[in-house]
């Protein structure tokens, strides 16, 4: 048996670019080989995502329907009640989800909301599920409060490369994102961070986005790879659709550069064929979101996911199992 691929944080752009542009069949073989060295290739982790506060966000992310600044027509809501979150989490667990992710459309949470957020984390933990939140930027006190409440994961995507970032977002910097990731990691919360492909970026931006994550002091525990869902009235509503092969290459690159990370096939699955999703799983994706909605975007229904899993011989990871070898 070949030695397992090493865990490195010193990848160079030249190395990453060479991997990304490897002939496609060789790239799939390399990514799948790395995946098998660290994970059971027939297990996929299921997460469920709930929007706990929708719309009215002060950021201007060009892809997002929840921004109050980019033209989308989504009305703002208040933070939902703690008991409703826990009830929804219970249903998600009954549906096979092992991790419950709670997302709020904020630039950063306000102190008045922290007690409710802590109660949500504690309530979901009491169900025996892993907890994840995505709330925007966090200061040190907020990070510690969430950690002490029992938060397992914090999601904060870098979205794209540093070069292309200002084309997508101007209300915060790429460095702001990295600062929050470092703060979360240093507090002992697991990091979930990935990005979006198909936003009109160049191939090198997709490579640099993965490289930025793979050269952090420690790799993210979870790396969501999203395919843009063009949303009416946003600046990216009419962007040209990405070649599916380019998307699979991005998944494969994430797997090779970050061998022990869970690579999550996230937004955009409604536009992916079963065959494309199967290629992504072969290339190292081993996590998905279940349920018919991702925040405000459509997602495949759970029955359709299960049918695909059955056809591929894939089983869901159990609570407390990360699928690693």
List the chain pLDDT tens, one digit each, 325 residues.
457 878 999 999 999 999 999 999 999 999 999 999 999 999 999 888 888 887 768 788 888 877 766 555 556 678 899 999 999 999 888 888 888 999 988 888 999 999 999 999 999 999 999 999 999 999 999 999 999 999 999 999 999 999 999 999 998 899 999 999 999 999 999 999 999 999 999 999 999 999 999 999 999 999 999 999 988 888 898 999 999 999 999 999 999 999 999 999 988 898 899 999 999 999 999 999 876 544 445 556 667 888 999 999 999 887 666 666 6
Active-site entry in 57, 206, 249, 280 = 57
Is 280 a residue of the active site?
no
Q: What are phi and psi of 193, to 5 degrees?
A: -155, 130
Is 264 a residue of the active site?
yes
- Residue 304 to residue 319: CA distance in whole angstroms: 22
Provide long-range contacts, Cβ within 8 A and 24+ apart, for 243-249: 244/272, 244/273, 244/276, 245/24, 246/197, 246/203, 246/206, 247/197, 247/198, 247/276, 247/280, 248/24, 248/28, 248/276, 248/279, 248/280, 248/283, 249/20, 249/24, 249/27, 249/206
Alpha helix (H) residue ranges in the chain:
13-20, 24-38, 82-94, 114-126, 140-149, 162-168, 174-186, 203-214, 244-257, 274-282, 302-312
Cα separation values, 133 from 68, 257, 293, Å? 21, 25, 16
Active-site entry in 185, 249, 255, 264 = 264
Active-site entry in 172, 177, 185, 192 = 192
- pLDDT the model gives residue 305: 85
Is 61 a residue of the active site?
yes
């Amino acid at each position: 048996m070949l030695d397992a691929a090493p865990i490195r944080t010193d990848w160079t752009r030249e190395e990453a670019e060479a991997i990304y542009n490897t002939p496609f069949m060789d790239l799939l073989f390399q990514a799948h080989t790395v995946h098998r060295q660290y994970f059971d290739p027939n297990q996929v982790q299921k997460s469920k995502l709930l929007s706990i506060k929708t719309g009215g966000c002060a950021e201007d992310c060009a892809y997002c329907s929840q921004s109050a600044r980019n033209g989308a027509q989504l009305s703002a809501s208040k933070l939902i009640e703690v008991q409703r979150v826990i009830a929804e989490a219970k249903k998600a667990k009954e549906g096979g989800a092992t991790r419950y992710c709670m997302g709020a459309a904020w630039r950063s949470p306000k102190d008045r909301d922290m007690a409710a957020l802590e109660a949500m984390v504690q309530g979901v933990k009491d169900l025996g599920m892993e907890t994840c939140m995505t709330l925007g930027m966090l200061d040190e006190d907020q990070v510690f409060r969430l950690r002490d409440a029992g938060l397992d994961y914090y999601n904060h995507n870098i979205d794209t490369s540093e070069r292309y970032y200002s084309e997508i977002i101007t209300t915060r910097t790429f460095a702001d994102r990295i600062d929050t990731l470092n703060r979360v990691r240093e507090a002992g919360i697991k990091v979930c961070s990935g990005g979006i492909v198909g936003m009109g970026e160049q191939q090198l931006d997709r490579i640099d986005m993965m490289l930025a994550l793979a050269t952090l002091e420690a790799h993210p525990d979870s790396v969501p790879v999203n395919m843009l869902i063009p949303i009416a009235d946003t600046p990216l509503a009419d962007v040209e659709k990405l070649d599916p092969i380019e998307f699979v290459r991005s998944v494969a690159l994430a797997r090779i550069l970050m061998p022990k990370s869970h690579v999550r096939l996230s937004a955009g699955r409604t536009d992916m064929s079963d065959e494309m999703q199967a290629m992504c799983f072969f290339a190292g994706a081993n996590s998905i979101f279940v349920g018919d909605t991702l925040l405000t975007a459509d997602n495949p229904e759970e029955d359709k996911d299960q049918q695909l899993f059955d056809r591929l011989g894939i089983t869901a990871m159990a609570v407390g199992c990360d699928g690693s070898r």
